[in-house]
């Protein structure tokens, strides 16, 4: 395991990646952001990622494809799916396929920080809980 | 672990199954005893709350508005409990009033009619034929109730994630099947389903706060943002909006509160014709 957690963010809406990248870097991760899901799919076999955060609904390649590929290459990778089209059936399908967590857009920064922190924590990374970080930055 | 909502017709030994599941998972079992808390919290007679959960529509039965109020109070209390704990619940209509929560495992426990009649005959010292007739009547009444209160037939297998028949297996084995199903990944809690449950709970608290004065109000929740929509004639709108603001604004967890008034054109037309 690398000392710095490796995080991959995939969302075909470039603005989302731009926002999520810096947020996750503040958790101590090294973050790669892809707005082209196909390029992200090609990147997965080349580098180990501890956490993958992916949108579900994208053209050609879906978040479920990213999930399946990521887990096939590295079963211990934690995949968090996000979507603006959340439904119970999709959420259950994602969890059954091995997603670590599932978030509906719009979500709060704390929701995502919490999910990623739990994912990293489950891999043995020491991550401050998001609220403690928030309080520090407010102070 | 998911929340497990167990439903069954009367005398189906579902209480026994629910107790076994709760014990196996080391989770609290929440059943009808919650109604005493609801009665104390909302100053509603417990007998009325039971009636709202059991009685179908009838000419001399419970008034529609009173039933809606009782169910709103029960839902608010139930959802509050569901957000706080992993638990097993039975007898509180969670399978009907909680929709779209991915980590709520809805289970129907089904015993065959002969078994149920024998159970009832034994407990109430009745003949089996009479017990069978009473059970059929009660099933019919409960089907009417669930259609009337929630627009669903609670005996319809398609509204459940799992249906367990007790015809050929013992309650211990039924509980084991439920516990194993609860372990499946698809029923585990996730941020989406926990947030959705919190939104439902907040909406139910707001509805419970409004239902006496504004029974027609509809409540929508996204995060902590609450939107209440009311129907009122124009000359009453300002007063009603202020009243909703006061009642809903005091509910714990409400962040931004929007109140929208829709003009009740039918009421206005009726008033001009007087």
> What's domain B213-273's architecture?
2-Layer Sandwich (3.30)
CB contact under 8 A, A91 and B101: no
Position with higher pLDDT, A82 vs A137: A82
- Each residue of B25-44: pLDDT tens digit? 999 999 999 999 999 999 99
Structure tokens of B197?
């449950």
Q: How many CB atoms lie within 10 A of CB B49?
A: 24
**pLDDT value at residue A1:** 52
**pLDDT value at residue A129:** 60
Burial state string for A42-72 with b = 16 or more CB within 10 A and e = fewer than 16:
eebeeeebbbbbbbbebeebbbbbbbebbbe
Cβ-contact B258, B227 below 8 angstroms? yes
CB contact under 8 A, A92 and B191: no
**DSSP letter at B121?**
H
Instruction: Tell me the CA distances in angstroms from B36 to B31, B32, B66, B210, B257, one per residue in order.
Output: 11, 8, 17, 21, 31
User: Percent of chain A beyond pLDDT 70?
Assistant: 90
Q: For the structural domain made of B3-187, what CATH number should be given?
A: 3.40.50.300
3-state secondary structure chain A: CCCCCEEEEECCCHHHHHHHHHHHHCCCCEEEEECCHHHHHHHCCCCCCCEEEEECCCCCCCHHHHHHHHHHHCCCCEEEEEECCCCHHHHHHHHHCCCCEEEECCCCHHHHHHHHHHHHHHCCCCCCCHHHHHHHHHC
**pLDDT value at residue B269:** 84
**pLDDT value at residue B266:** 85
With a cut of 0.90, is the ipTM above it? no
| Beta strands B257-263 and B29-30, pairing class | unpaired
Q: Does residue A110 belong to the interface with chain B, where contact is any CB pair within 8 Å?
A: no
Residue ranges of chain B whose pLDDT lies below 70: 274
CB contact under 8 A, A102 and B192: yes
Q: B248 — alpha (psi -120 to 50), left (phi > 0) or beta? A: alpha
- Matching fold, domains B3-187 and B213-273: no
* Chain B residues bordering chain A (beta-carbon distance below 8 Å): 100-102, 184-188, 190-193, 195-196, 222-223
pTM for this entry: 0.90
**pLDDT value at residue A126:** 84
Q: Where along chain B do its domains lie?
A: 3-187, 213-273
Alpha carbon of B222: minimum distance to chain A alpha carbons (Å)? 9
- Each residue of B260-274: pLDDT tens digit? 999 988 888 888 776
């Amino acid at each position: 395991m690398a000392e710095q957690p490796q995080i991959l963010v995939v969302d075909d809406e470039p603005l989302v990646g731009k926002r999520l990248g810096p947020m996750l870097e503040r958790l101590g991760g090294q973050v790669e952001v892809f707005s082209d899901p196909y390029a992200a799919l090609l990147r997965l076999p080349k580098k180990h990622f501890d956490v993958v955060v992916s949108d579900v609904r994208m053209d050609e390649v879906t978040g479920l494809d990213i999930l399946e590929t990521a887990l096939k290459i590295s079963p211990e990778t934690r995949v968090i799916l996000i979507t603006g089209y959340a439904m119970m059936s999709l959420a259950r399908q994602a969890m059954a396929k091995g997603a670590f967590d599932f978030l509906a857009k719009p979500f709060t920064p704390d929701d995502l920080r919490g999910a990623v922190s739990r994912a990293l924590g489950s891999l043995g990374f020491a991550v401050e809980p998001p609220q403690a970080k928030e309080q520090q930055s407010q102070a | 672990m998911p929340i497990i909502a167990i439903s069954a017709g009367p005398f189906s030994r579902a209480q026994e199954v629910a107790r076994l599941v709760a014990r196996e998972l080391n989770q609290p079992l929440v059943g009808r005893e919650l109604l005493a808390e609801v009665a104390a919290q909302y100053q509603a007679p417990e007998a009325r709350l039971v009636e709202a959960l059991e009685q179908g529509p009838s000419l001399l039965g419970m008034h529609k508005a009173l039933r809606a109020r009782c169910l709103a109070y029960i839902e608010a209390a139930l959802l509050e409990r569901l957000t706080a704990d992993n638990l097993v619940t039975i007898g509180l209509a969670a399978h009907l009033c909680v929709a779209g929560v991915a980590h709520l495992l809805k289970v129907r426990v089904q015993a065959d009619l002969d078994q149920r009649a024998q159970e009832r005959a034994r407990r109430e010292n009745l003949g089996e034929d009479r017990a069978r007739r009473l059970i059929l009547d009660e099933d019919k009444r409960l089907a009417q109730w669930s259609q009337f209160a929630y627009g669903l037939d609670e005996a319809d297998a398609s509204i459940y994630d799992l249906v367990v028949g007790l015809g050929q297996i013992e309650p211990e084995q039924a509980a084991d099947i439920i516990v194993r199903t609860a372990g499946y990944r698809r029923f585990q809690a996730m941020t989406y389903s926990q947030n959705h449950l919190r939104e439902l709970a907040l909406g139910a608290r707001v509805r419970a706060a409004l239902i006496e004065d504004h029974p027609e109000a509809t409540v929508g929740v996204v995060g902590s943002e609450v939107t209440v929509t009311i129907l009122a004639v124009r000359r009453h709108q300002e007063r009603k909006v202020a009243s909703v603001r006061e009642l809903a604004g005091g509910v714990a967890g409400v962040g931004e509160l929007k109140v929208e008034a829709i003009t009740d054109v039918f009421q206005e037309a009726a008033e001009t014709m007087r």
